[in-house]
A = this chain, B = another copy of it.
Amino acid sequence: MNTSTTQSEEPGTAVKADEIEFTLIELLFFAYRDFTSDPDAILSQYGFGRAHHRVIHFVNRRPGLRVAELLDVLRITKQSLARVLKQLIDTGYIVQVQGPRDRRQRELYVTKKGHALALALALPQSRRIRAALEEAGVKDRAVIERFLRAMVNPELRAQVDRAPAREGARIEGEARE
């Protein structure tokens, strides 16, 4: 543990407050707080919460995602996931398909309805990001992307990179199973 210090006492030994990136720490907090507030308002109209948002987002973005992979991405337990996933399946936003190679696996897909919800939730977030890029006069958006990617634990960056190049497959409510 770190025995911290202020300017006046035990100089040199420990963390000094002015060496800490407080500004960026707080900016991340505030930016994320408001970034998540947009979809929250929409979700409550559906009787869903933030947990549903995360699930439907990643299933939409990574069609055919398996349950174990989703757990890795969300960093929650299967029992936590089960609750919200069941609701999303029961209400027709997500469907499960038996894995073609390994029939124990369940591939997850959004339905048309689920796709529409995922887009509706992403839209205000997307608008906020665009407006911020413009307002901040970001000429090279790649800088932002590189910075945020570098904030992710190196061993978990494969998850970031696994996103589809284009919009992936989607299963209609009626199709397959």
Cβ of A132 under 8 Å from chain B: yes
Q: Contact between A119 and B2 (Cβ–Cβ < 8 Å)? A: yes
Contact stretch, chosen from A23-31, A79-87, A98-106: A23-31
Q: Contact between A24 and B148 (Cβ–Cβ < 8 Å)? A: yes
Cβ of A149 under 8 Å from chain B: yes
Bound complex: CA A19 to CA B79 (Å)? 34
**A8: min CB distance to chain B, Å:** 11
Query: How many chain A residues touch the partner (CB < 8 A)?
Result: 68
Q: Contact between A32 and B30 (Cβ–Cβ < 8 Å)? A: no
Cβ of A159 under 8 Å from chain B: yes
B-contact 0/1 string along A150-164, CB 8 Å cutoff: 111100100110010
List A residues 95-150 near B (Cβ within 8 Å): 115-116, 119-120, 122-123, 125-126, 128-133, 135-138, 141, 143-150
Pick from B22, B30, B122, B129: contact of A122, CB under 8 Å? B22
With contacts A119-B4, A167-B17 taken as known, whether A31 is within 8 angstroms of B135 at the C-beta atoms is: no
A27 to chain B: closest residue by CB: B148
Residues of A within 8 A of B (CB): 1-4, 6-7, 15, 17-35, 37, 54, 57, 61, 75, 115-116, 119-120, 122-123, 125-126, 128-133, 135-138, 141, 143-153, 156, 159-160, 163, 166-167, 170
